[in-house]
Amino acid sequence: MTTNSELFERSSRHIPGGVNSPVRAYGSVGGAPRFIESATGPYVSDAEGTEYVDLVASWGPALLGHAHPEVVAAVQRAAARGLSFGAPTAAEAELAEVISERVTAGGVSPVERVRLVSTGTEATMTAIRLARGVTGRDLLVKFAGHYHGHSDGLLAAAGSGLATLALPGSAGVTAATAAQTIVLPYNDRAAVESVFAEFGGQIAAVITEASAANMGVLPPEPGFNAFLAGTAHTHGALLILDEVLTGFRVGPAGWWGLENAAHPEHAYVPDIITFGKVVGGGMPLAALGGSARVMEHLAPLGPVYQAGTLSGNPLAVAAGLATLRLADASVYAAVDAAANTISTATSAALTEAGVAHRVQRAGSLFSFVFGERFVADAPRGYDEVQGQEAWRYPPFFHSLLADGVALPPSVFEAWFLTAAHDSTAIERVLAALPAAARAAATA
């Protein structure tokens, strides 16, 4: 048997850091990452044959659990018909219809047209180019701690792996590009107003995670997204709502759908919405959508260029379609129930062990911030969550891992549940929590 450590050494000889995406490294928790052999339902199994209850879910896509038989069968059927054509297929039209139909409120969809791409990074990168093309303006507003993928203009003060590694941005981004991104504190209306007062005529778009979940989970204050839409529109700018992580995960119509239902008084219409993760059912597929007026600026109809050899790949589209067809109300109810049980039990175990913390929730997504000051007051932005007692997380993480539960290897990431987390899997997590909470307490 080859151990995880041996595989990590081998990988590291030819792959920088041994991983093909930095968040997979156990950079902030220490140790060799688990090399996964296979996954089924709520479980992943590593190269050493150890099975873990998986609370990463491929960082979001596995809404139904791993290797759902109907999704696998759909991909197998598609594979048998050919892997890639570089020509349109009927299934792409169908997936675009499904996305548009789902993201509808009161009979109106902000997604009249959809363009399929392969990664969330491409979706947000294209959304920004499109906003610039539509408005003829250069500046972009983003929020500290929000992660929108790794295109140049979006790496300033970004969450996810940059939060874990405490990087302010990325080397290799030109000063000229960085200067076109204005980074503001999240949930801070005055900051948004003042930047629009000063630069309103030059701002192409505001991009925001529908609910922030890449600095740990940190939902927008009620009405904040509607405020962003209103402010952007007053100044002739667009709102790009990034639902790569939340889309089709927190509900059938994503965070936008949840928010519209919970706060109809704060209804708003984003100009472009980006999707990823669940929409591809575990295959490389993402999308952007918007009104016909905006989206028809894209080539071949308009002057904003975007393309992809593998865009709308038939296997990826098959996985996405099968996943969305299966993701009905009962799936979301199951994911919500699993998230409730595990977040409540984790919080109780931490309290029992005397670890001051706060549960951060956005629909079925949740994470924990550690520190006395969060007990009374919820953090509103990146500065505050960066000041947490992050050192409590590595021993907590490793205690759970040793007991067969795989969490995201960073305190700045959301925990992901799936509809396959049944009572057996959940019980295994609950049984492991008290020891993990004690490890966090003595850290």
The binding site for ligand PMP (CB under 6 A) comprises 59, 119-121, 124, 147-149, 160, 209, 214, 242, 244-245, 276, 286
CA dist., res. 17 & res. 406, Å (int): 20
CB of 245 to ligand PMP, least distance (A): 4
CB of 144 to ligand PMP, least distance (A): 14
Q: State whether residue 45 is helix, strand or coil.
A: strand
> Smaller CB distance to ligand PMP: residue 241 or 436?
241
DSSP state of 32: P
CB of 121 to ligand PMP, least distance (A): 3
Contact 123, 275 (CB under 8 A): yes
Strands (DSSP E) found in 185-268: 203-209, 238-243
Q: State both tokens at 213.
A: 């979940």
CA dist., res. 138 & res. 156, Å (int): 16
CA dist., res. 291 & res. 276, Å (int): 18
Q: Phi-psi region for residue 136, left (φ > 0), alpha (ψ -120 to 50) or beta?
A: left
Half-sphere exposure at residue 78, Cβ-oriented, CA atoms within 13 angstroms: 25
147 annotated active-site: yes
> Smaller CB distance to ligand PMP: residue 46 or 209?
209
CB of 364 to ligand PMP, least distance (A): 15
CB of 124 to ligand PMP, least distance (A): 5
> Smaller CB distance to ligand PMP: residue 204 or 287?
287
CB of 248 to ligand PMP, least distance (A): 13
Taking the alpha carbons of 111, 235, 219, 26 in that order, is the dihedral positive or negative? positive
CA dist., res. 263 & res. 424, Å (int): 35
142 annotated active-site: no
> Smaller CB distance to ligand PMP: residue 205 or 353?
205
Q: What are phi and psi of 287, to 5 degrees?
A: -160, 160
- Going by C-alpha positions, the residue among 155, 153, 132 that lies closest to residue 144 is 155
Q: Which amino acid is residue 395, in one-letter code?
A: P
Which listed residue (52, 277, 332, 393) is catalytic?
277
When CB distances to ligand PMP are compared, the closest residue is 120
> Smaller CB distance to ligand PMP: residue 127 or 420?
127
188 annotated active-site: no
Q: What are phi and psi of 288, to 5 degrees?
A: -130, 150
CB of 340 to ligand PMP, least distance (A): 22
> Smaller CB distance to ligand PMP: residue 119 or 388?
119
CA dist., res. 366 & res. 343, Å (int): 7
Taking the alpha carbons of 273, 275, 383, 22 in that order, is the dihedral positive or negative? negative
> Smaller CB distance to ligand PMP: residue 319 or 436?
319
Which listed residue (26, 43, 52, 147) is catalytic?
147
Which listed residue (242, 271, 332, 382) is catalytic?
242
Catalytic residue positions, numbered: 147, 242, 277
